[in-house]
Amino acid sequence: MLAIVAAAVAGLSLTAAVYVYVASERLIRRTYDVPLTDLTIPGDSASIAEGRRLALIRGCQGCHGETLGGAVFADDFMTGRAVAPNLTRVAREYSISELARVIRYGVRPNGEGVQIMPSPMYYHLSDADLGRIIAFLRSAPTVDGAGYEFRPGPATRWEMARGEWLPWPEDILLMGARMPAPNPDDTIRYGEYLAQTACTECHGNDLTGGDGGSTPDLRIAAAYSPHDFARLMQTGVATGERELGLMTIVSRGRFSHFTDLEIRALYAFLRARAGVGNGS
């Protein structure tokens, strides 16, 4: 009798494992019909230098490595293995239209969705900013590095089968129309653009926080003076001389490259969002 029960349990476990594998593979191989669009890429040195600054703020080097040669994003049995690819090669192997689509919409040349690159944060990038970033990526010296990998482990496949993990194009399909190109003279709207294209990776598309409460609603910026907010962006040091873990790391590596004008616009938008004046 025990042998029969054990066999039944083993059979059910195998069936469940097969279901999880098939469901997760179907999700990984799902394709998206997002058309390619033309994008003008500048070639002057000033635009390329600005593209490098914009790429730093958006975290390209944070995932793909300082030389953009690719880096291991995760590698353990339960989570699986994910590798951010060598951008110095990808930027040359993909057409400009393919680069723009994978960055903005999370759709690879074969139509499959990306799994780990936060494309929703790049969705609203203006043509000018995205063009400069691509110009920088294509100008970077070619280096040896890793190719793209996404081999989910059991825990990740289980999340996929349960619908708790979706490719980024699924989120982007729900985001509506892209924002108009920003006018820096429109301080609030410019700050909104910066927040949507630099902060949503951690704080969510609605900026109310994410990861189960580990990142705060960005209305918290209303508690900062202009000086203290600028200091946080530039040095990672919060009020009370505090360091804030990931925020401190991101500020020092990415947000320290914001200009003073950008910091003022971001601050003004976040204060306005909290209903606290114009942030001046």
pLDDT in tens, 75-99: 999 999 999 999 999 999 999 999 9
CATH number of 187-273: 1.10.760.10
Residue 83 three-state SS: strand
**Of the CATH numbers 1.20.1110, 3.30.70, 1.10.10, 1.10.760, which one belongs to the domain with range 45-172?**
1.10.760
Note the pTM of the prediction, 2 decimals.
0.91
Quick one: pLDDT at residue 13? 62
Going from N- to C-terminal start, the domains of the chain cover 45-172, 187-273
The yes-or-no answer to whether 45-172 and 187-273 have a common fold is yes
Residues 217-258: pLDDT tens digits?
999 999 999 999 999 999 999 999 999 899 999 999 999 999
Q: What's the pLDDT at 279?
A: 44
